[in-house]
Amino acid sequence: MPRPLTRPARARSPEEKLIRRGDILRAAERLWTTTAYADLSMNQVAREVQLAKGTLYLYFETKEELFLALLTEHYKTWITQLITLLDERQPKGADAVAGVICESLRGFEAMRRLQLLLGSVLEQGEPALEFRQKLIAMMQAAATRLPYPHDTALRVLVHTDALCVGWQHLAEESPAHRALTLHPELQPLMVNFETEMNTSLRALLHFLEQQTSVAVA
């Protein structure tokens, strides 16, 4: 059942509109935990947040735009967490940097699941371009905290993004994934996200440090 309406029916001030936008994002995320993206409609989101469908479209013109906004929000939170950890730990060398990046990703499974939608259903038209522009700006900010030249640091974050998608795809809990337990020969496909992410990042960072001669003692 939809949650009881706790906000004014119409948001008037910028602050109220920002809160309403957050309510919509949270409603979409709640629905997404039980409904496949392809089956989830804007009508369902409007009902969940107790808004008229027309009001919902004042905030997001399409379902794709709504979910790109949700993913952007997750990225902002993750990048902020990563910057905080890098500033606190000041990691030096591949193993330490990989450890901090992996630690920053803990608790961000929802972001990683949303990443799986990129490149297929979400990257359509102008909102997708705007999303990519925001993402690179966030990565640029985080790159300044890594102990590498800026271009190398940015490359590390782009690889991190790609590795997240790949390992989350294999680690994603689903009926098909759980069925692997019934087939011993398929056990290598039962992976732990953080373990494999750390392994991949360490290998990548050791390679980049060697390639660019920027290893930090």
Q: Is 73 exposed, middle or buried (0-12, 13-18, 19+ CB in 10 A)?
A: middle
pLDDT in tens, 101-112: 999 999 999 999
Kindly give the residue spans of alpha helices, DSSP state H, lying in 33-172. Answer: 42-49, 53-59, 63-89, 94-104, 109-115, 126-143, 150-171
Domain 64-212, architecture per CATH: Orthogonal Bundle (1.10)
Is the confidence at residue 41, as pLDDT, over 90?
A: yes
End-to-end CA distance of the chain: 57
Is the confidence at residue 35, as pLDDT, over 60?
A: yes
Identify the pLDDT of residue 10: 61
Distance CA 101, CA 160 (A): 8
Which of the four pLDDT bands, split at 50, 70 and 90, describes residue 169?
A: confident
Distance CA 184, CA 166 (A): 22
| Cβ-Cβ contacts under 8 Å for 174 (sequence gap 6 or more) | none
> Is residue 136 within 8 Å of 76, Cβ to Cβ?
no
pLDDT in tens, 90-135: 999 999 999 999 999 999 999 998 988 886 667 666 778 888 999 9
Cα-to-chain-centroid distance, residue 74: 5
Distance CA 60, CA 139 (A): 25
pTM: 0.83
CATH of domain 14-60: 1.10.10.60
Q: Of the candidates 64, 203, 174, 186, which has an alpha carbon nearest to the alpha carbon of residue 128?
A: 64
Distance CA 106, CA 122 (A): 24
Tokens representing 82? 């990563």
Q: What is the mean pLDDT of the chain?
A: 86
pLDDT in tens, 47-86: 999 999 999 999 999 999 999 999 999 999 999 999 999 9
Sign for the pseudo-dihedral over CA of 48, 50, 54, 56: negative
| Cβ-Cβ contacts under 8 Å for 123 (sequence gap 6 or more) | 131
Is the confidence at residue 136, as pLDDT, over 90?
A: yes
How is the chain split into domains, by residue range? Answer: 14-60, 64-212
Length of the chain: 217
Tokens representing 200? 């991949």
